[in-house]
Structures are given as structure tokens and as C-alpha cells.
Amino acid sequence: MPVTKRNLPPHASLVLICSVALMSMVAGCGKTPDSPTESNEATLSGPDAKPGMVASDGKLVLPIVAGRPGAVYFTVRNDGAEPVTLAGVHVSGAAKAEMHQSNGGSMAKVDSLPIDPGASMVFAPGGLHVMVFDVSPDLKPGGKAELTLTF
């Protein structure tokens, strides 16, 4: 669905509905999300949707032990003509969400992420991902959670 550019605020956002799964000790390690498809792309709507941005393949992985952090994986693609910067993430049902990058056995917080026109960023196990903290017990496997990306 095309989105008409309207005097957007400096921080526009895109919403993706993520499926919720329960994390096992090794399940999904190293698996990258499927490529975006028409049926799993986020619907761009409302005045705050960032033109040209598409998010897909959202998955929130719940911690197996209560009180531990969970993780969110997805793909975001810039179909626009200008570079954008992913400046923040929010996950419904989590008190806090942070972008992180794993590299060589260590993990570091990522404050922002530039995305060039035509580029995709894949958030997957072992690389870029979103850590979610203080996950609500109301989130259950098979449910849905809203991921908001702020640019």
C-alpha cells in the first residue's frame, strides 16, 4: 500500500506484528529469516509510517526461564530514495528493548543503524538482534506482539 509523504515528524515509525515463540537452548541458531513476501510484510499505515520502509519476518522469542531477556528477529528494507537511520525499537509487552550486535562471541548495544536506499538489514541469531527485557507473562507462544521501529 503506498504511503503519501505528509509533514512527517523527525522520528517516523513503522509497525510490524511479530509472532511469539518459546526459545529452546539451540533452536534457530544460525538460521536467517525467510525473504520478505507479500503475505508477511508490515502494513504501512497512518501518518507516522516511514515512506519506503518495509519490515517483515518478525519473530519474538520468549526466554525459557522467566526473568531472562528474550530476542526479536526480523528484516527491515529501505525501498526509499534516501538513506535512513533506525534510531530505536519498542516491543509491546516488554519494559525495554535494545538493538544489539553479536560478533566473535561478544555482544554490544547498537544505538542507531544506518540503512542505505535498496539495502536490507536482517536481525537474526548470531548477528543483529533486538534484546527485550522484563517480558510480560501475558505474552505466550503462538501469540502476537507489536514491534515499532523508529527512524
Nearest to 90 by CA among 29, 22, 150: 150
pLDDT on residue 84: 92
pLDDT on residue 1: 31
Least confident of 33-37, 44-48, 82-86, 94-98: 33-37
Output the DSSP codes for 30-96: TPPPPPP-TTTBPPP-STTBPTTEEEEEEEEEE-SSTTS-EEEEEEEEE-SSS-EEE-EEEETTEEE
pTM: 0.76
**pLDDT-derived band of residue 51, with 50, 70 and 90 as boundaries?**
confident
pLDDT on residue 18: 66
How many whole angstroms separate alpha carbon 132 and alpha carbon 93? 9
Q: Residue 140: is its pLDDT beyond 50?
A: yes
pLDDT on residue 52: 85
Dihedral of CA atoms 18, 121, 43, 15 in degrees, nearest 10, equals 60
Percent of the chain beyond pLDDT 90? 48
pLDDT on residue 132: 96
**pLDDT-derived band of residue 60, with 50, 70 and 90 as boundaries?**
very high
Average pLDDT, the chain: 77
pLDDT digits (tens, 9 = 90+) for 4-20: 333 334 455 667 676 67
